[in-house]
Chains A and B, each alone.
Chain A
Amino acid sequence: MDREYKRMLKKFFRNPSGLFGFALLVFFVLVALFAPFIAPPQPSNKHEPYMMPIVTWSSEPQPPSKEHPFGVCGRRDIFYGVVWGTRTAFRIGLTVTAISTLIGLFIGSISAYYGGWIDEILMRITDIFLAVPFLIAAIVLTTLLGTGLDKVMIAMITFGWMGTARLIRGNILQAKEEQYVLAAKAIGVSMPGIIVKHLLPNTIFPVVIQASMRMGSLVITAAILSFLGLGAPQGYSDWGAILNYSRDWILGAQGEALKYWYTIVFPGTAMVLFVLAWNLVGDTLRDIFDPRLRI
């Protein structure tokens, strides 16, 4: 097992796009960790550092300058929002992915191990949850719960576990007949013991890949909800919320169509790079695991 992982790590870091994705990811982690040093909170927002500080009283966006390298939008410093927004993106992505993956693992492994009518019921429930498009389900549930970033996360978790459940169920069904599982059963290892100690470790890798590939799209969905005004409140350091504000300035001014370009370009680029990083890492892992789909 150890040797296997080492071989995979080696393959991963030999792949240029995987390496690039990983480097980008490290960059974002560093930005998130050192946000208080890169963009120190002002006295006005010291107690709530996630709110972007108000730096001017004019509602018109101001182009990048020495004090505000990404410009000012909605009276607030875009650079500050983009830097602290990295933390928001990680928080949403990691929380939703981790919890929904755990729920999926739980349901999938129960379903596969017991089989029979338990499996039938759980899988039909999964089908029904899959029948509602993810974005629509997230929008509706967030609204019913009363909007806000935490509600967005709850909604995405509620409708985000099905893929993992199906994947792990299929894998366990395959592994169930393997010798080592039968052996464990024969020596009297309990059911939860078999699932946790034998089945999951041997079937978990595809789940990890799937999770890393979902990170990007989850962060996009959360940003869409903030963009529609259902997620983070205005002024919160969230890329989607910043873009929601820049939307009003998208048409530019008379004769200067691209006058307010910076209100979209900086938060937009941050999002694209963040998603790109996760997609590259996920793709590379998938390629190592399943070379058929290599691009």
Chain B
Amino acid sequence: MTAYIVRRLLLLPLVLFGITLIVFSMLQMLGPDKLLSAYVNENLLDKLSPEKLEALKEKYGLNDRLIVRYIKWLKNLFRGDLGWSLVGKEPVLKAMLHRIPYTLELALYALFPVVGVGIWLGVKASIHHNEPIDHFIRVFAVVGWSFPDFVFGLFVLMIFYSLLGWFPPGNMSIWAEEIFSSPSFKHITHLPSIDALLNGRLDLFVDCLRHLAGPILTLSWLWWAYILRITRSSMLEVLRKDYVRTARAKGLDEKVVINKHAKRNAMIPVTTVAGAMVIGLMSGTVIVEAIFNRTGMGRFTAQAAQQLDFASLLGAVLFYSTILVIGNLIIDVLYAIIDPRIRLT
């Protein structure tokens, strides 16, 4: 087990190195002058003398040979110098650090309803195989999976905000924003809703949740369909197994058979799609944050693309790829813990 984890950990820097290669090659599609705008505040750029500009190009190694340029770029990257963000009007790293908590909060909150409800629906359908409820859930699985999340998000906004007024867009209400930025408010985890609880402000916490509800619903919808169909087919397969029949023959309560014997074994295929789900949730934040006006990494990415802010875009790629690679690693390790057979290969 340890050997497996160590091997995976050793591969991690290699993949991260590969990602920097991809990002750097994409960056090379721009000329030196355009590249400079990715490093320096553009207001400053216009005022600089040509000699100063050359000096800056030199500093960021824009006139060098490709390999030298790459090494200089990597060095800056390691120092945390990702360049100047047009969108954030501050250095890219700082801008990202301000936004990451909002995205993490959203993804973490979405994870529980996605997995919980998805599995619950899948189990429900498999127990009532070929009954009306099963047909209903199956139709939901197919239609839900075909519903693009940005279209669904627009509907959520229209119905739950505009019509009913329940789930407003944005991070939080204006009054909450004022409390949140006041000096007496302690930022402990930097996740707004958790900090609200830690500061004993239940009203603030509720306000954060209200603003999170729409995005979470939009993110979950698609993945409910996905998780439920995997759970359902895997449950159906397990329920046909001999040991389930034995458990039933022993006279065990049906609840125990389902929960202890069937469900546990049926969960193994579900963990294999967790990787796809993490990618999906993270990419989903781009759309959801753009639609619901949340100031997280997703909207940052979308804005950076719209404003041709290359430095921020590349920062975003690095962020999302790192999350993806680490997420996949955690899932693989979890998978090895759940299913001992995998460790040997």
Contacts and interface: CB of A to CB of B under 8 A. Distances in A.
A216 interface: yes
B15 A127 contact: yes
B29 to A, nearest CB: 5
A283 B302 CA distance: 32
Nearest to B139: A17
Contacts of B286: 135-136, 139, 224
Contact of B18 (A17, A124, A144, A264): A124
A136 B148 contact: no
Contacts, number: 143
B287 A144 contact: no
Given A131-B15, A131-B18, A261 B320 contact: no
B158 interface: yes
Given A229-B306, A258-B162, A292-B233, A128 B145 contact: no
A276 B141 CA distance: 11
Given A132-B321, A268-B155, A292-B237, A251 B146 contact: no
Contacts of A207: none
Nearest to A139: B305
A133 B283 CA distance: 7
B306 A228 contact: yes
B234 to A, nearest CB: 9
B320 A132 contact: yes
Most chain B beta-carbon contacts within 10 A, residue among A125, A136, A139, A142: A136
14 contacts: A17-B142, A131-B321, A131-B325, A132-B317, A132-B320, A139-B286, A139-B302, A139-B313, A140-B305, A144-B26, A144-B313, A230-B306, A246-B154, A258-B158
Interface string A217-230: 00010011001111
A173 interface: no
B36 interface: no
9 closest Cβ pairs, A-B complex? A128-B18, A135-B283, A276-B146, A257-B163, A257-B162, A275-B146, A268-B151, A220-B148, A143-B305
A134 to B, nearest CB: 7
A127 B22 CA distance: 12
A250 interface: yes
A54 to B, nearest CB: 24
Contacts of B151: 243, 264, 268, 271-272
B21 A140 contact: no
A283 B225 CA distance: 14
A223 B148 contact: yes
Contacts of B99: none
Given A136-B286, A136-B317, A295-B233, A283 B142 contact: yes
